[in-house]
A and B are shown apart, each in its own frame.
Chain A
């Protein structure tokens, strides 16, 4: 049996409220808050990036896993905001954790599903028996163009999962995928901000792929929504994951523990993985969890996990995700946010 042996998250300390973004652009904050179910989002500090969030999340995962970092045979970092265009984030993470030098590393990209891509590869690689442990991270410090709808949601955070085959806290029951070529969101080389297809990002993109992957994996596992204790769907805002969960037949009790976006924003590659971490923080042993990511371009990875008795022994070894989100926050004005995100032109 393969599964998760440790998990951890990191959320930056800073937040900006929807009102403070809307007031700069003359937009109607209540309609954004209502329409997207978003109240505020996380903002990385000037000394944070995908590599730092990844390392700090992975250290929390190591605290829970309680393994020697030298046992980690592979490190996958999924992100659309790797600090370098050329030079891996995974080498920085592996070195900081003490996993080098006999560790296979790759940086992954697939818009918001790069994190679960790493998890998918890590789980199946460990299952193959080639290595005993792998680390999969979803992390982003995502950017929306100033004034664009994405600016209200593009946030920062990371989730890390150490995968193994012994001392599991959650066993993997099965995986599935649903992927097509659908250009709903993209960023071309040398451009700072992504572009998107507006409402096209909804039905033909997010909803088609998330629903497709969720149905495929439930068919494969011969399970129905009522067989699950928890569900997590990718969270580009606070509205889409709730809509898709309802449409599939899930209830608020199942999605609420993992729904972070109303006060976190969209952490892109970190989004659904952080929802999984928040769910593991509260799940009882024997709980069935459905995780479905979504990445523009477009595709969804789906996973079904069943928690074990060991989960309750390790979850308090590192900070809970909801504690990081609710208790570690300082609100900043738009000017500070613009400075931290390097949106202000200044002399070198």
Chain B
């Protein structure tokens, strides 16, 4: 990913900023220009809690370049307590005991880097929410 493209995503990747429709309160992540629920075009920026439950996941055993040090790892969809669903890597977990319904919490992690000399891209991943 190019630096400018990543930089534009910082509010989403770093702070889980979403758009809450001022007319119908629906929350959209990533933010939308037009509310798919009611058609309104005015939103407030809200920060998602980062807490939710694992809806579904898959285990990556043959990773793409840049992720080989982490294999096997899980990628899943987490439904946050606000009702928003987002896909992310599930880290700090035992992939063999992971199950749908597990409580998750978003943590700030390195997502990828452009080689050993390039920019480091940060963002959210989920870890099992075990109170630490």
Complex CA–CA separation, A330 to B130 (angstroms)? 14
- Decide: B132 and A56 in contact? CB cutoff 8 A: no
Which residues of chain B are within 8 angstroms of A342 by Cβ–Cβ distance?
Answer: 69
- Decide: B115 and A52 in contact? CB cutoff 8 A: no
Q: What 1/0 flags go to B111-123 for Cβ under 8 Å of A?
A: 1000110001010
Which residues of chain A are within 8 angstroms of B130 by Cβ–Cβ distance?
Answer: 327-328
- Decide: A46 and B69 in contact? CB cutoff 8 A: yes
* The residue from A323, A330, A348 contacting B131, defined by CB atoms under 8 A apart: A323
Q: Name which of A55, A96, A98, A340 has the most chain B CB atoms within 10 A of its CB.
A: A96
- Decide: B15 and A47 in contact? CB cutoff 8 A: no
The verdict on B10 contacting chain A, using a C-beta distance below 8 Å, is yes
The verdict on A49 contacting chain B, using a C-beta distance below 8 Å, is yes
- Decide: B111 and A47 in contact? CB cutoff 8 A: yes
The verdict on A252 contacting chain B, using a C-beta distance below 8 Å, is no
The verdict on A51 contacting chain B, using a C-beta distance below 8 Å, is yes
* The residue from B91, B108, B115 contacting A45, defined by CB atoms under 8 A apart: B91
Which residues of chain B are within 8 angstroms of A95 by Cβ–Cβ distance?
Answer: 10, 14-15
Which residues of chain B are within 8 angstroms of A324 by Cβ–Cβ distance?
Answer: 132
The verdict on B92 contacting chain A, using a C-beta distance below 8 Å, is yes
Complex CA–CA separation, A342 to B130 (angstroms)? 28
Q: How large is the interface on A (under 10, 10 to 19, 20 to 34, 35 or more residues)?
A: 20 to 34
* The residue from A49, A98, A319, A339 contacting B15, defined by CB atoms under 8 A apart: A98
The verdict on B37 contacting chain A, using a C-beta distance below 8 Å, is no
- Decide: B132 and A323 in contact? CB cutoff 8 A: yes
- Decide: B115 and A51 in contact? CB cutoff 8 A: no
CB nearest to A329 among chain B residues: B132
Contacts A52-B108, A96-B15, A98-B47: A319 and B115 contacting too (C-beta < 8 A)? no
The verdict on B70 contacting chain A, using a C-beta distance below 8 Å, is yes
Interface of B is mostly: mixed
Complex CA–CA separation, A327 to B128 (angstroms)? 13
The verdict on A13 contacting chain B, using a C-beta distance below 8 Å, is yes
- Decide: A92 and B122 in contact? CB cutoff 8 A: yes
- Decide: A51 and B122 in contact? CB cutoff 8 A: yes
Which residues of chain B are within 8 angstroms of A83 by Cβ–Cβ distance?
Answer: 120
Which residues of chain B are within 8 angstroms of A49 by Cβ–Cβ distance?
Answer: 110, 120
The verdict on A25 contacting chain B, using a C-beta distance below 8 Å, is no
The verdict on A19 contacting chain B, using a C-beta distance below 8 Å, is no
- Decide: A339 and B14 in contact? CB cutoff 8 A: no
Contacts A98-B47, A323-B131, A340-B69: A48 and B15 contacting too (C-beta < 8 A)? no
Nearest Cβ distance between residue A48 and chain B, in whole angstroms?
7
Nearest Cβ distance between residue A344 and chain B, in whole angstroms?
9
Complex CA–CA separation, A45 to B73 (angstroms)? 12
On B, residues with C-beta under 8 Å from A are: 10, 14-15, 47, 69-70, 89, 91-92, 94, 107-111, 115-116, 120, 122, 125, 127, 130-132
On A, residues with C-beta under 8 Å from B are: 13, 45-49, 51-52, 55-56, 59, 83-84, 92, 95-98, 319, 323-324, 327-328, 330, 339-340, 342, 348
- 8 further A-B contacts with Cβ under 8 Å, apart from A48-B109, A51-B110, A327-B130, are A47-B125, A56-B107, A95-B10, A95-B15, A96-B108, A98-B15, A98-B47, A319-B132
